[in-house]
Each structure stands twice: as structure tokens, then as C-alpha cells.
Amino acid sequence: MKVAVFSAKKYDQDGFAQWADPSLQFSYFDSRLNSLNVKLAQGCHAICAFVNDELSAEVLQQMSEMGIEMVALRCAGFNNVDLDTAKALGIRIARVPAYSPEAVAEHTVAMMLTLNRKLHKAFNRVRDDNFAIDGLLGFNMHGKTVGIIGTGRIGLATSHILKGFGCKLLCYDIEPAAELAGHYVSLNELYAQSDIISLHCPLNPATKHLINSDSLAKMRDGVMLINTSRGGLVNTKTVIEGLKSRKIGYLGLDVYEQEADIFFENLSEKVIDDEVFKRLLTFPNVLITSHQAFFTKEALQQISSITSDNLMAFAGGNTTGNELIQ
């Protein structure tokens, strides 16, 4: 079966070469999938897409006209997919629902520790032969209250790590996990009582801009906010105001609302036109990584293997249980 892989990087190619079924014939395209380049998939049976690829009604319609009946998402999120149109057109959508949730959880806590103990600043100081520790004061994680919004696989993995630090956990989810019974509170309580808030919920109409002026007003002054889920959960302009007012004391982002034109690319020799993003980079208490929380060897192996399984199931007229639209 021929598969067009969009937003493909070398690590994607290496992963599929090592862990995908050898009968799958991949064609790799570095560009993000959109209505202008979907024609690159002409002659393929399926498309393999990533987090910032466009799977709008227009793109799906073009795919259908080309005879493509399958989209294999090599990610868990699907906020970039028009599921209603896919269903109407009979296009199967399958995803990778879990690929090493520990990878994202560990990155989440790494961001907390880096911001708290200012490890990034200490690294740069020592390289300049500056061994002073003034301005590097942090706080004990032990005993701090951490609010976890979203307790699916990643949120749960994050809770396991934070329990090891001796943190008090407050949780919110519309589908509580039995393991965290007794830790669930309302969102308002979580906002008001948490020293650190970490986002692990999906992006959908109900959660878009979950972090806004109203929610920020309910938080403690100097709160640490971490987002390793989806950029659209946070109203970035409002967060900038929160940083300026000192309501937010620390901000860690592995995702960004308008990341599609920035992340996963080397723009070091180019001018970035996104003034909001550039403003974020001016704050000394902001740490941004480029959607790399998932990026471990173990996660890449699972992504490649499960995506391959999803494609092979489609080719054989079977299902894997990972289908959003069958």
C-alpha cells in the first residue's frame, strides 16, 4: 500500500524504516499538508499526517476525489481533523492514542524544575565562567500544590512523578480516573489553591482558551503554568498580560497557539513575523520548547509501530480499535 507522509522529518523516515511493516511504501514530504499540496499524494492509498497538518473539509474533499480513503495520524490529538466531513466521505481516520505518555509527563516535570531552579540560566552562566548563584533562588517542590487539568494517560503519568516529589495533587477531569479518587476538585478550587498548574486535556470547543482572563484572575499570584498539551488551550495574549502583572510567575510552553508556521523548522536565519511569540521570548521567566515533549526513542518506536498497524489493518479490511472514523 502506498502512503504519503506529510510533515516528514528524518526521524519519521528512520522510525518507519525500522519499525513499520516492510510492505508499506512511503513517500515523504517535508511540507505540511494543506489544500495546495494535497495533490502530492496522487496515486497513494492513504495519507499519514501529524499535529499541524490541515485536514479540513476542503482537504478531505480533495483526498476523496483522488481516491484516498484513509488518514493515519501519527499523534494522539485530532483537533486538526474535520471528523464530520471525513465520516460523510467515508474516509477512515485512525490515530496513535498513546505513545509513551511518560515521555510527555517527564518533559512536563523537567519544565517545572528548569523554571523553578533556573537550570537554563545556570547553564549559560557557568559557560561564561560566572559561578555566582544570585538570582537562581528556587523553591522546594516537596509540599507544593500542583493542579493537573486532564487526567488521561499523560496526566496520570505526571501525577505519578509529582507524588514522588511529595507534592499535593488537585485534579480536574470530566472523566475522573479511579486511581486519583479523592484528588478531584472543581476548576475554580484548582485555580485558587494550586502553586503549579499543568494542562493535559485535549483541545476542543469546550477547552479552547481554557486559560483566559477569567481563569487567570482566580489563580494565585506568581502561579507556575505549564502547557504540554495543545497551544489553543491558552489565550496567549492574555497570558502575556498575566506575565506583565506578575500573576504568572513562571510559564512553560511546549506548544503554542500559532505554532504551525514556527515549530519543527529551523528558522535561525529568518525573521519571525509573529509578534506575540516574539514578545513571549522577552520574559526571563518563560521557557518554550518546540513541541518536543513526545520526542523520545520509545515514543518514536510506538508511533511508527502503531501507525503501521493502523495502515495494515485498513489494507486488510480490519480495525485496530484506534479508529476515530471507520
Assign residue 57 the CATH number of its domain.
3.40.50.720
Question: Out of 259, 275, 279, 323, which one is annotated catalytic?
Answer: 259
Q: Are residues 304 and 267 in the same domain?
A: no
Would you call 291 a catalytic residue per the annotation? Answer: yes
What pLDDT does 10 receive?
96
Q: Which domain holds residue 246?
A: 101-288
What pLDDT does 112 receive?
98
Q: Are residues 191 and 276 in the same domain?
A: yes
119-127 vs 101-117: helix axis angle to the nearest 10?
A: 60
- Count of structural domains within the chain: 2
Q: Are residues 212 and 188 in the same domain?
A: yes
What pLDDT does 92 receive?
98
What pLDDT does 228 receive?
98
Question: Does the pLDDT of residue 326 top 90, yes or no?
Answer: no
What pLDDT does 54 receive?
96
Q: Are residues 239 and 164 in the same domain?
A: yes
3 state SS for the chain: CEEEECCCCHHHHHHHHHHCCCCCEEEECCCCCCCCCHHHHCCCCEEEECCCCCECHHHHHHHHHCCCCEEEECCCCCCCECHHHHHHHCCEEECCCCCCHHHHHHHHHHHHHHHHHCHHHHHHHHHCCCCCCCCCCCCCCCCCEEEEECCCHHHHHHHHHHHHCCCEEEEECCCCCHHHCCCECCHHHHHHHCCEEEECCCCCCCCCCCECHHHHHCCCCCEEEEECCCHHHECHHHHHHHHHCCCEEEEEECCCCCHHHCCCCCCCCCCCCCHHHHHHCCCCCEEECCCCCCCCHHHHHHHHHHHHHHHHHHHCCCCCCCEEEC
* C-alpha closest to that of 74 among 98, 50, 103: 50
Would you call 298 a catalytic residue per the annotation? Answer: no
Question: Out of 95, 230, 241, 269, which one is annotated catalytic?
Answer: 230
Q: Are residues 108 and 204 in the same domain?
A: yes
Q: Are residues 121 and 243 in the same domain?
A: yes
pLDDT in tens, 250-297: 999 999 999 999 999 999 999 999 999 999 999 999 999 999 999 999
Question: Out of 32, 92, 153, 291, which one is annotated catalytic?
Answer: 291
pLDDT in tens, 25-59: 999 999 999 999 999 999 999 999 999 999 999 99
Q: Are residues 215 and 270 in the same domain?
A: yes
Q: Are residues 110 and 239 in the same domain?
A: yes
Q: Are residues 158 and 277 in the same domain?
A: yes
Q: Are residues 131 and 51 in the same domain?
A: no
Would you call 142 a catalytic residue per the annotation? Answer: no
pLDDT in tens, 197-230: 999 999 999 999 999 999 999 999 999 999 999 9
Mean pLDDT of 99-112: 96
Q: Are residues 316 and 188 in the same domain?
A: no
